[in-house]
Structure 1
Amino acid sequence: MHSQTTQSYKESYARSLTDPESFWAEQAAYIPWYSAPEQILSADEEGLTRWYAGGKLNTCYAAVDHHIEQGRGTQTALIYDSPVTDTIRRFTYNELRDEVARLAGVLQTLGVGKGDTVVIYMPMIPEAAFALLACARIGAIHSVVFGGFAPHELAIRIDDAKPKVILSASCGIEFEKVIAYKPLLDEALRQSAHQPVRCLICQRPMLRAELHPRRDLDWQEAVAAANPVACVPLDATDPLYILYTSGTTGKPKGIVRDNGGHAVALAYSLRAIYDVKPGEVFWAASDIGWVVGHSYIVYGPLIQGCTTVLFEGKPVRTPDAGTFWRVIEQHGVSVLFTAPTAFRAIRKEDPEALLRNKYDISSLRYLFLAGERCDPPTLHWLQEVVPVPVIDHWWQTESGWPMVANQMGIEPVPIKAGSATWPVCGFNLQILGENGQPLGANEEGYVCLQLPLPPGSLPTLWKDTPRFRQSYLSRFPGYYLTGDGGYVDEDGYVYIMGRVDDVINVAGHRLSTGEMEEMVGSHPAVAECAVVGIADELRGQRPIGLVVLKDGVEADEPHLEAELVSIIREQIGAVAYFRNALVVKRLPKTRSGKILRKTIRQIADGEPCVVPSTIDDPAILDEIRAKLMAHNIGHAFRFQAI
């Protein structure tokens, strides 16, 4: 039993469900409020759950200024470790406050205030963390767009968020390749109907950007001339940020996060799940473009008074597969959180973990994995390589923090390969059948959460409550539909088996295959198409396309494939990892016309496959299997029909 609490997991979990107001009132006491909440749990005028109504706080204050007032001003708050630029910089809480306060001053002089939106399109540099905190400091709502996204995707988000200001940088770095960001931003603004008042561009020495004379400002010059500003008191229910995630319609969903519930939930998670204490070093090896970066690079560790690591690099080739071990040793990392993809890449290049032996990683107490399902082979390899608990846990952009985990700060329990362990306190997880009936142990169904959702979860979508209700609450009244399928075993362990919609997970990126189908289908030679996610040893999943040509069209297949790959790369970005588009005579369909995407995926993955009795022509499956085998895609050679 750990010192965070004297209650067992089962006692804490039961109380969080039967008396949520008392439970979450206790957790709120860990946050510095300007004014205490008047209501712990309530509903707004639209009937949506709200936490801590009437409370006043500022998330930047809780993450930075408060710790200075508590005597932590000279403690290191942020470590910037960039093997791609051979740079390490450290910022104390005092220095972090000064950087953030001046950047907030720049935003205020540009007319940004409470309730205005700011889009952030930046690489993993300290200024990116400053940007989030500066927005939070003055009550502006930030929306970070992952730096790997193409102009089209950035433009969609600009038009939806309608930012007053965009914060960006001259370039990012992928391995040794310098990626110019400014041309991508310029093209996005050319495509978008909404135009910001100003763009603030952080000039990096390896590539300086040409600035638009009337629109763009030099970041460094503007910050140097700015006056620092104080934190602005905000309502607990005021939005902190918007983070876009793929939707099944192709239009991204703007996940909204509030200030109060978010701060309380993250502080609770650092104590109860990650078991990390103020002053310890917490490293989330992720990107600020993902929810992990928001929650566990910037806000969570700082709210807890930890030292956080901001890493610009990759797990391999920067310079080698020992980089993660080097960072742990050099900075004394206590807790590491990353995606299984990272360690699959490390294992591929260093299968015997010989580079691990070069470093002293005795500071490490836990290794957490999330972002995609941790396959048992990766888990078992890590358990042999790392002498600490290796903990798979599960959550989503929508939840903002873990929903299923081994709560190390309450009561560590035995690990089961393939399971993310037990539901986290506050999340009433249920497995439901097609008709909404609760299922028993080991029965696979829809993974749902009984309402109300705990603090930190999305209260709604950005300016689209009807879509929020339709996407998450309409399928099973009284429940939030996670979009994943899974089951709970006889010991209460939760197993997440994958999405039940068309969203796939490519190395932690949630991407819509439906959106990709629209793009592939836009090619003049394509009559119809299907894009499905297949298993990928390194990335978890990757998309492949099957296309049917229009009548009378003859196409050079390699040339067509290259064109379709280029379309996806230009419209979504390299992160999609779309590499194959195969021409077939027909797509497998039911007699009613539904494309059998699940069956295609099962063939590609070599899984046992039940061919639906309603299929219009079973022979087409043999053609697809032969096509996949001819191109050495997936594991079609293992295909078995049952």
Structure 2
Amino acid sequence: MSEMGTDGAALEQELERMLEIEKFEPPAEFRERALWSDPAIYEEAAADPVAWWTARSKELLDWDVEPTQGLDDSNPPFYKWFEDGRINASAQCLDRHVAAGNGGRVAYHWRGEEGERRDVTYAELLDSTRRFANALKDLGVEKGDVVGIYLPMIPEVAVAMLACARIGAIHNVVFGGFSAESVRERMEFSEAKALVTVDGARRKGKTAPIKQQVDEEMGGLGSLKTIVVIRSTGIECPMTEGRDVFFEEICAAADPECPAEPMEAEHPLFILYTSGSTASPKGILHTTGGYLTGVAATHRYVFDLRPETDVWWCAADVGWVTGHSYIVYGPLANGATSVMWEGAPDYPHKGAWWETVQDTGATILYAAPTAIRTFIKWGADIPAKYDLSSLRLLGSVGEPINPKAWLWYHQVIGGGRCPIVDTWWQTETGGIMITPLPGITATKPGSATTPFPGVSAEVVDERTGEPVAEGQGLLMLEKPWPSMLRTLYKEDDRFVETYFSKFGEERYLVGDAARRDKDGYFWVIGRIDDVVNVSGHRLSTAEVESAIVAHENVAEAAVIGQSDEDTGQAICAFVTLAGDTAPSEGLDAGIREEVAARIGK
């Protein structure tokens, strides 16, 4: 692929040619070796989803008390899974792997902002987690208490989460890029008893004084008794006597032994706040047994994971659900070796990701289309400088990926040999819901394809709720699944109103528009409000964006609706041109023609 990578014109011609290919079958060699290669898995799961999920849970997890109950649907939409089972998430992610003789396996290849390298083994992660769990108990944190976590991408973020899980505390992680004001809001809503943060955080060579910023916002929070500070950058930071303690000191003084307490399957594991349609964020609540089942199963089988040989890289942040599920709980439950990346994609240089793939031997990469489009803008000659031959599978997450970006990812990063799993899911779903299975599914660039086994999804008419066999409508999840949110933290009424009021309390309203094609494949269009109505015609902004980006001189596009006297709404597009391309009237006309050709006038 290196020759094509350095010849932009040849690559562009190849991608244009490949846009005409409707389906990409799994490579024969991949299919032969895949964990799942028989399509009968879908029929097996559909015949009895509860029994199927229960079997996956017992296959992938070691329960302290194995559940005899599957789904309790007696009080919809407040569903419960595996209710009589007992399990500890920390023990599933750490203790059992160490006990099996895999303590020396690397859990995280951490790569720091300034090029630091730190390999953390399962045994080391377990030791740190035990110590911090005991330290939290010494600070008065008990089962059911909420602990806030506001950290950059450092291994201690996993330690903090797993230490909470070990003692039954509920963690509430806030994305490290959010403001201290956002942290306060989330700590206040959740009535957090403790907060774990850092002295400072680095981004592109600059250090932000995180602890100082936190202090400026945390005054008057009656529930917050302790702030634990990790010395990450070594900068000076204010410490309030009687409230603030250093992570390193309390861990050094803590008892190194801390048995994991078996938790009820429905014991809350974490809260994760996400944007709502109103001003206040929604506190998505996930519980232990069902969530672990969902993320362990999807991580293992969507990505065909071989923990003995694979090096997994989910290039997300733990502050989002993708990081919870596919940097911490899913990979660790499966005993995987992961890459944990602290910095920005272009720091210290634009080839930093590909250098990391080369150095770690990463075999699976799971990234967002936003990142992929950025790499397209930078040019294929950058990844062409590195050896990416270790990669065997690629994934996409976070938003629909346009076909051209899919093909670039496939050809330039995957060398044309790596299947791509384009996944759809949400904070609320806990784990992947719609996705190809790489050893089974023929993929279509831009489509998330079909639901994961055991997941029931439909596209329905927005007025009647009736399924749409082919066409556009609302995306619905029709049956409960183990990793689903249980409620909105302390807001049961809002939970029902937001997700289960439109078509009854047994059908989950996703909030996304989607369409199904003639083969039954799902194409997620975007949020329900990401649709513009032009002269009575409903157009997805994502579809228009994909059409614009298909133009050879376009790197990125964002589309919104704009009020128009004649048509009701008009399309307004913000376009980033590729390379050194200059704007011109001719280029404007060419982009319009591209949209007309792909969508219509």
TM-score, length-scaled by structure 1: 0.77
- Counterpart contact for 1:420–1:494, Cα < 8 Å: yes
1:485/1:62 CA distance change after superposition, 3 Å = same
Residues 198-597 of structure 1 mapped to structure 2, 5 A cutoff: 198-228=226-256, 229-279=258-308, 280-316=310-346, 318-349=347-378, 351=379, 353-385=380-412, 386-387=414-415, 388-408=418-438, 411-452=439-480, 454-477=481-504, 478-501=506-529
Tell me, yes or no, if the aligned pair for 1:441 and 1:487 is still in contact at 8 Å: no
The code of the aligned residue for 2:463 comes to N
Match of 2:86 among 37, 40, 56: 56
Deviations along 1:497-530, whole A, 9 cap, x unmatched? Answer: 11014799xxxxxxxxxxxxxxxxxxxxxxxxxx
Look up the match of 1:599. Answer: 569
CA shift, 1:494, in A, is 0.6
CA gap of 1:253–1:637, structure 2 versus 1, over 3 A, is farther
For 2:172 and 2:560, locate their aligned partners in 1 and report how far apart those are by CA, in whole Å. 26
- How far apart, CA to CA, are the structure 2 residues paired with 1:541 and 1:157? 30
Larger RCO, structure (CA 8 Å, separation 6 or more): 2
CA distance in 2, matches of 1:540, 1:476: 34
How high is the TM-score relative to the length of structure 2? Answer: 0.82
Change (3 A) 1:48 1:312: same
Asked whether the equivalents of residues 373 and 418 of structure 1 are also in contact (C-alpha less than 8 Å), the reply is yes
Distance in 1, Cα, partners of 2:385 & 2:398: 28
Q: Distance in 2 between matches of 1:50 and 1:599?
A: 44
1:470–1:103 Cα change, 3 Å? same
Unaligned runs of 5+ in 2: 1-30, 533-547, 576-584
Deviation per residue, 1:543-592 (Å, 9 max, x gap): 99x9xxxxxxxxxxxxxxxxxxxxxxxxxxxxxxxxxxxxxxxx7799xx
Q: Deviation string for 1:67-111 (max 9, x for gaps)?
A: 0111101111121111x2221101111111001111111101011
Match of 1:117 among 142, 146, 153: 146
The worse-fitting range, judged by mean Cα deviation, of 275-284 and 102-111 is 275-284
Q: 1:164 — aligned with what?
A: 193
Distance in 2 separating the partners of 1:442 and 1:605: 31
Amino acid corresponding to residue 467 of structure 1 in structure 2 = R
Aligned CA distance change for structure 1 residues 14 and 465 (closer, same or farther; 3 Å): farther
Letter in 1 for 2:572: I
Identity of aligned residues (%): 35
Write out per-residue CA displacement over residues 594-631 of structure 1, whole angstroms, 9 at most, x where no aligned residue. xx9x936x33469xxxxxxxxxxxxxxxxxxxxxx9xx
Q: 1:99 aligns with which of 121, 128, 131?
A: 128
Give the Cα separation in 1 of the matches to 2:498 and 2:245: 39
Counterparts in 2 of 1:542 and 1:223: CA distance versus 1, 3 Å: farther
CA contact under 8 A between 1:171 and 1:204: conserved in structure 2?
A: yes
Stretch moving more, 123-132 or 224-233: 224-233
C-alpha root-mean-square deviation of aligned residues, in Å? 2.8
* Residue type of the alignment partner of 1:368: G
Q: CA deviation at 1:121?
A: 0.5
1:197 aligns with 2:225: yes
State the match for 1:583 in structure 2. none
Q: Conserved in 2, the CA contact under 8 Å of 1:604 and 1:636?
A: no
Task: State the partner residue of 1:154.
Answer: 183
Question: SS at the partner of 1:333?
Answer: coil
Aligned to 2:26: none
Call closer, same or farther: CA 1:540–1:2 in 2, change over 3 Å.
farther
SS at match of 1:71: helix
User: How far 1:637 sits from its partner (Å)?
Assistant: 12
How many residue pairs align between the two structures?
Answer: 529
Unaligned runs of 5+ in 1: 505-534, 547-586, 591-595, 607-628
> 8 Å contact 2:36–2:301 — kept in the other structure?
no
Aligned residue type for 1:38: T
8 A Cα contact 2:200 2:233, kept in partner: no
Q: Please say if residues 203 and 209 of structure 1, whose CA atoms lie closer than 8 Å, have aligned partners that are also in contact.
A: no
Specify whether residues 66 and 540 from structure 1 end up closer, same or farther in structure 2 by C-alpha distance, changes over 3 A only: farther
Residues 7, 20 of structure 1: CA spacing in aligned structure 2 closer, same or farther, 3 A cutoff?
Answer: farther
CA distance in 1, matches of 2:216, 2:222: 13
Q: Which amino acid aligns with 1:366?
A: L
The code of the aligned residue for 1:263 comes to L
Counterparts in 2 of 1:202 and 1:414: CA distance versus 1, 3 Å? same
Q: CA deviation at 1:44?
A: 6.1
Measure how far apart 1:237 and its partner are.
0.6
Q: 1:327 to 1:33 in 2, by over 3 A?
A: same
